[in-house]
Chain A
Amino acid sequence: MSKVLSVVLAMGVGAVLAAPGNVFADGKATFGAKKCGSCHSTDAAKASDKAPNLSYAGSKYQAAWLEAWLAKPTPVRQVKWGTLTKGTTSHDALSAGEAKEVAAYLATLTDAKVAKGAVPAGEAKGAAKVQGKLLFEKKQGCYGCHLVKGSGGKVTGGFTGPSLAEAGARLQADWIVAYLKDPNHFFPETMSPNYSKRFNDNEMKTIAQYMMSFK
């Protein structure tokens, strides 16, 4: 009896996973079929020397950005991954349908270290924006390694870190705070210094909100 029940249950689960409306299941299959895993690791404990670790992609990236980017990828970094060589790494584009599926799958890959709702939604305005700018540009010179959009929309800054020129459309503010607190948890091989004791909690939240204005 229990065997029959198991089989029925298994068929039920299979049916749900295979249902056309389940973009998460389709996305995982597409991720495999497109061999995304040959460059990207989805295992938090296993870094790849070819591309960003995606084990926390659902906590790091904004879902709408992921879907749009996968359909029309443009380089986020201006050096080849893991090197100091100027240049970009090309990335295959997915069809609109595949991009939607894979983005839905990646959205399920979250990290418990990212405290949901730590940073109020929206971008910094008024005095908070001024304070964010001071922290980002003066207290620390983040643009030494990251591209940012200056006055008149001119993009300037360093190349070795990911471009932050459009970080407000790409990153989740809660992730920025979690990353500043414990960068090694997310990216042990980073070339960026650790700022965990250089900004306090409120400053990290202000920076994250300020960065949400980068679009």
Chain B
Amino acid sequence: MKKIAVTAAAVFAVALLGMNIDTASAKDAKANYDHYCAQCHGTSGKGDGVNNTKDLPVSPRNHTDANEMKKLTDADVYNAIKDGGAATSKSTLMPPFGETLSDAELKDMVKHIRKLCGC
């Protein structure tokens, strides 16, 4: 009986550990957006982040502009986040996040950006 209890506790501990690993490795898209993207695109996605100054040769994209955003496919958005602006023939002021965010996080970010534009 005691052995079963110990085994059950061990299984439970491993399960808990597994849950922690999952939450640590994949931050939700909103948290990632606020940490990485908002610097330039603003927390609401309007392209009004603190780094957007008149001296920039290209302004950060307004993610809430459905007319502009619907011109981009999901693959375009994914590639731009993963490999930076150059991947979609845009400015390299948009940096690559392929070594910063996991593939799952990149895909979640595309969905989050679609929510911001509603498109």
Contact = CB atoms under 8 A, between A and B. Distances in A.
Interface stretch (B43-51, B64-72, B109-117): B43-51
B78 to A, nearest CB: 15
Instruction: Give the interface size class of chain A.
Output: 20 to 34
B118 to A, nearest CB: 24
6 contacts: A84-B39, A140-B92, A156-B55, A191-B36, A193-B96, A194-B99
Interface of B: 35-36, 38-40, 43, 49-51, 53, 55-56, 84-85, 91-100
B50 to A, nearest CB: 5
A144 B93 contact: yes
Contacts of B94: 141, 144
Given A84-B39, A194-B99, A197-B99, A160 B92 contact: no
Given A140-B95, A141-B95, A191 B35 contact: yes
Q: Is the interface of A mostly helix, strand, loop or mixed?
A: loop
Contact of A191 (B39, B55, B56): B39
A194 B95 CA distance: 9
Contacts of B93: 141, 143-144
A157 B95 CA distance: 14
B50 A193 contact: no
A50 interface: no
Interface string A124-165: 000000000000001111011100000000001111100000
